[in-house]
Amino acid sequence: MFKKVLVANRGEIAVRVLRACRELGLETIALWSEVDRNALHVRYADEAYCIGPAPAKESYLRIDRIIDVAIRAKADAIHPGYGFLAENEQFARACAEAGVTFIGPPEQVILAMGNKIEARGAVAKQGVPVVPGTYEPLRDDEILSAANQVGFPLFIKAAAGGGGKGIRRVQAPEELAGAIARARSEAESAFGDGTVYVEKIISPARHIEFQILADTRGNVVHLGERECSIQRRHQKLVEESPSVALDNDLREKMGKAAIKSAKAAHYVNAGTIEFLLDKDRNFYFLEMNTRLQVEHPVTELVTGVDIVKEQIRIASGRPLSYRQKDIHQRGWAMECRVTAEDPYNGFLPSTGKIISLYEPTGPGVRLESGVYEGFEVSLYYDPLIAKLCVWGADRANAIMRMKRALSEYKVLGIATSIPFHQKLLESTSFIGGHFDTAFLDERFTMEQGGSEDNEKVAAIVAALLTHDRRQHALSIPPPTGGTARGGWKRFGSWEGLGR
C-alpha cells in the first residue's frame, strides 16, 4: 500500500478522496490555486501546496506543476478525482515517467476509451449493441452523406467530449453545416480536439450506467446500475440506484454487456459504462468514462463498496476485494447535485460568500460538500458545491427522506439549485418513475414543475406515506413482557394516533 497520496483536484471530490485516504492510514497532499487558499480540501489535508493563479489552465490543469509538487512532497501516488486531468492520458503518462502511480486506468486505455469513436468500435466488436452512428473521423462533406444514412434527428458529438460539451442536435439537413461548425469549435476549445462524429438520437430514452471495477489481474465486476436520466442540457442533476426501468433479467444482461465493454478495453481501476435504454427496453452502449463519477456515492450506499478505497487498492497492485457474487444492491439511494446556480433565472451561476449554512443530517443522509460557512464561491470553477445523498429501504422511503433533507438544507448568501430539487420531487412524473433524458428540457419548468395536477401529487405522496406506515408497523417487534399483539393491531393503534 502507498504511504502518501496527492489529490490533484479541489472541492467536494478532493475532500471525498482525502477522507478515504485517511481511513486507509495514508498521508495526504492537497493542491490549491490562489483563490482556493482557504478551501475545505486544503484545510483537511496533511500538506498543501499552491500551484498557481485562479484560472484552472494556470493551476489545476498544469501537469508540470502538479508533478513537481508530487516529487518534492515525495508522493507515492496521485488521485485525479473527476474533471480537470482525470481523463487526460498525458497526465497519466507524466505520472509514470515521474515514478508516481496514477490512481486510474493506464494511459493507453484513457486514450482509447476517451475517444468516443474508438470506444464505439472496440465495444461493437465484442457484440455489445451500440447507438447507430459513425465509427471514424469524417470531413464536413463526408458527414452530410453519413447523416443521411443514419437518419434525422441526430447528434453531432465531439469524439473527445464530456460534460455535455461539443454536442449539437440536428433536426434536418439544412441545420447540419452550422451544427458541425459549432460542435467542432466548442470541442476544440474544451478538449483541444475538434474531431466529431454522427450519432442517431434515440428518443425517448433513459440514461442508465453501470459502475465497473477491474484489477490488474484481469478480474472485472460491475456494481449494478445508476439511473441518470434527470438531465438539463446533457448535464446530470439527479441520480439514483437502482433504476425503476430495470428488472433483474435486463439488469443481468446490461451488467454482462458492461463487463464485456470493460474487458474489450483491457480496463483497470474504476470506470463507468453508459447505456441508452429505449422505450422498447433495447439498450445501446453510449460511452465509457475512464474515471470516478460524480454520482458514485449512490452505488456505494446500495452496495456497501467504498469505490475510492478500491481504486487505491487496485492502483497499489492488490486484487479486487469482491467477486461478482459478492455484489448485492440493497435498498434505494438518491443523489441531488447542489450547485451555486439560480434555478429561477435560467440556472445562471451565483457567486459570493456563504454567510450562513445549515447542512442536513440524520438517518440515511450523506452529504459530500466542499464548502463551509464563510466560504467564498467564485466563478472560476464548476458550480457544484455539494452532493446530497440519501438511502432508504425502497424508492418511496428514499424520496421522502430526500424531501426531508432538502427542507433542512439552508444556504444563505448565494442562490443554489435546492429549490429545483424540491420542485422536482413534487413532480408526479418523477415520483412515478415516468421520465427520460428529455424530461427537464421539454416537460418541466420551475413555475409549473413536472406535474399537471396538484391533486395527483397529493394522492401519490399519500400512497407512499401509507405504504411507509404499513411497512413500519409490520416491522415493529413485539413489546417485551405482556401479551404480544399482531402487526395489524399495532398498525391500527398507530393509525388511530393520527401519525
| Given 120, 291, 366, 395, the catalytic residue | 291
pTM of the model: 0.88
The DSSP result for 334-389, as a single string, is EEEEEESEEGGGTTEE--EE--EEE---STTEEEEE---TTPEE-SSS-SEEEEEE
Predicted confidence at residue 189, as pLDDT, reads 83
pLDDT tens, position by position, for the chain (499 residues)? Answer: 899 999 999 999 999 999 999 999 999 999 999 999 999 999 999 999 999 999 999 999 999 999 999 999 999 999 999 999 999 999 999 999 999 999 999 999 999 898 899 999 999 999 999 999 999 998 999 998 999 999 999 999 999 867 678 999 999 999 999 999 999 999 988 788 899 999 999 999 999 999 999 999 999 999 999 999 999 988 999 999 999 999 999 999 999 999 999 999 999 999 999 999 999 999 999 999 999 999 999 999 999 999 999 999 999 999 999 999 999 999 999 999 999 999 999 999 999 999 999 999 999 999 999 999 999 999 999 999 999 999 999 999 999 999 999 999 999 999 999 999 999 999 999 999 999 999 999 999 998 887 555 556 556 656 665 555 555 444 434 334 444 344 444 334 444 444 3
Is 446 within 8 Å of 423 (Cβ atoms)? yes
What domains, with CATH codes, occur in the chain? 4-103 (3.40.50.20), 132-200 (3.30.1490.20), 205-443 (3.30.470.20), 454-496 (no CATH)
DSSP bridge pairs for 130: 285
Predicted confidence at residue 191, as pLDDT, reads 81
Candidates 447, 458, 450, 445; CA nearest to 434 is 450
Strand, helix or coil at 491?
helix
C-alpha grid cell for residue 298?
449512490
State pLDDT tens for residues 77-100.
Answer: 999 999 999 999 999 999 999 999
If you ran DSSP here, which 8-state letter would residue 432 be given?
T
Active site residue 337: no
If you ran DSSP here, which 8-state letter would residue 451 be given?
-
Alpha carbon distance 113, 92 (integer Å)? 14
If you ran DSSP here, which 8-state letter would residue 174 be given?
G
Candidates 309, 114, 275; CA nearest to 202 is 275
